[in-house]
Amino acid sequence: MEQFGISADMVGRILLAGFLGALAGIERDISGKPSGLRTCMVIAISSCLITILAIDVFTQMSDRIDFTHVIAAIVSGVGFLGAGVILHNRTDVRGLTTAADIWLVAAIGIAVGARMYILAVFVSLFTLAALVGLSPISYFLATIGRERNSKWEKEDGKTDK
């Protein structure tokens, strides 16, 4: 593969980014959220690829490339994807966790592309633990909030609608 300008290291980084993106995506799929396995994998892989190109390829061609601009472009572009999954109406906002997950998956892809493997794996596992482990707590707190709001509406005799 070296003859084509592709190293085993590059392929390994792409595969790792895809795997770590899949971890977050599987949880989103199981939770029935709009951004699932394929989306998270593609975001992680593409972020990793752009990072590899910036670090390994473009810096060999020119010493005037600023890697921070590449990261900023990835974060900005992925921000548009995240904004697209956020839905809100008068009383409810949905999709914030999915939007944050999309952004984080891109950051994991960047970390893998920059050869920060331990950081990327740690963040992936920590995120998966938070998404899965905190879900029951989040549901419980939301239930308490709904009950409290319902109680206040009954006391006031009116609603916000």
Q: Which string of DSSP letters, residue by residue, matches 8-63?
A: HHHHHHHHHHHHHHHHHHHHHHHTT-SS-HHHHHHHHHHHHHHHHIIIIIIHHH-T
**What CA–CA distances, in Å, run from 130 to 24, 73, 100, 139?**
11, 27, 12, 13
Closest CA to 88 of 96, 98, 99, 79: 96
Over range 9-37, report the average pLDDT: 90
Over range 39-60, report the average pLDDT: 89
Q: How confident is the model at residue 155 (pLDDT cuts 50, 70, 90)?
A: low
pTM over 0.85, yes/no:
no
Is residue 106's pLDDT more than 90?
A: yes
